[in-house]
């Protein structure tokens, strides 16, 4: 029995979806390599590269009806401009987040200096001074309350050792050599720990930022 036009159309669409899904599986590793090459040092960070790959695949899958090829090479050629767009968007977001965090901690550092005469910074916990701090709007800033809330929520999710590093070196501006001497380690060790702590903080901030933007 001959199939109707609608049945043929549905069947063709299903076959096309299965074909594209198979090609995606075949192309994924090559797409990742392309993003690493295009993104340079930034995309060599595994989490960043995974984020861009995921964003590229999501956009491409939503637009899959526009893909007219039938081979993995054709799919990769179609994905490349989508990947470049996703990479640029991701880099822009990352830089914006880094600026917001830097601005927040610049402000917190100023507040630490203002309050240092009333309380011993060494005794004040990070939670009391930053995460639980009061945003009274006394100082002008283009940071909005949502940015401050996100950053403080991200800080609260860090391990205690990471929070101590960040508040001492990034917020209060303590010298790396002094902090290292107190711990009995080298300055190089402290710098590496601080870099990792800041990266974890940035990623927590990004997760919160993306989650709120998605709602």
Tell me if 47 is assigned to some domain. yes
Last residue of a domain, one of 60, 94, 128: 94
Q: Whole-angstrom Cα distance, residue 206 to residue 159? A: 17
Q: Whole-angstrom Cα distance, residue 23 to residue 70? A: 8
Name the residue range of residue 42's domain: 5-94
Sequence-ordered list of residues with C-beta below 8 angstroms from that of 202, at least 6 positions apart, any chain = 94, 97, 98, 101
Q: How many domains does the chain have?
A: 2
Last residue of a domain, one of 34, 62, 94: 94
Same structural domain, 139 and 86:
no
Residue 73 has pLDDT above 90, yes or no: yes
Same structural domain, 154 and 208:
yes
∠ CA 123-124-128, rounded to 5°: 155
Same structural domain, 145 and 191:
yes
Per-residue model confidence (pLDDT) at position 128:
39
Same structural domain, 149 and 199:
yes
Tell me if 198 is assigned to some domain. yes
Tell me if 176 is assigned to some domain. yes
Instruction: Please identify which residue in the block is written with the tokens 């490349």.
Output: 80
| CA 3 from centre of chain | 50
Instruction: Tell me what the mean pLDDT of segment 49-58 comes to.
Output: 87
The pLDDT tens digits of the residues spanning 13-33 come to 788 888 888 998 999 999 988
Ranking 19-28, 104-113, 175-184 by mean pLDDT, the lowest is 104-113
The pLDDT tens digits of the residues spanning 116-133 come to 555 444 334 333 334 334
Tell me if 104 is assigned to some domain. no
Greatest mean pLDDT range, 108-112, 117-121, 141-145, 198-202: 198-202
Using the Cα atoms of residue 199, residue 207, residue 40 and residue 24 in order, give the sign of their dihedral: positive
């Amino acid at each position: 029995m001959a199939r109707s036009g609608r049945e043929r159309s549905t069947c063709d669409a299903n076959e096309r979806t299965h074909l594209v899904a198979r090609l995606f599986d075949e192309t994924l590793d090559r797409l990742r390599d392309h993003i690493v090459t295009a993104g340079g040092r930034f995309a060599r960070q595994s989490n960043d590269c995974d984020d861009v790959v995921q964003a590229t695949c999501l956009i491409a899958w939503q637009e899959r009806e526009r893909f007219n090829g039938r081979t993995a090479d054709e799919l990769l050629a179609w994905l490349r401009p989508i990947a470049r767009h996703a990479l640029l968007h991701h880099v822009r977001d990352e830089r914006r987040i880094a600026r917001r965090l830097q601005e927040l901690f610049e402000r917190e550092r100023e507040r630490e200096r203002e309050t240092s005469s009333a309380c011993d910074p060494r005794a004040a916990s990070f939670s009391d001074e930053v995460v639980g701090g009061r945003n009274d709007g006394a100082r002008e800033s283009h940071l909005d309350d949502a940015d401050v809330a996100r950053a403080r929520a991200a800080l609260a999710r860090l391990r205690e050792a990471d929070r101590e590093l960040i508040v001492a070196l990034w917020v209060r501006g303590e010298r790396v050599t002094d902090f290292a001497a107190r711990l009995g380690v080298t300055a190089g060790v402290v710098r590496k720990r601080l870099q990792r702590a800041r990266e974890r903080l940035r990623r927590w901030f990004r997760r919160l930022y993306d989650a709120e933007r998605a709602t």
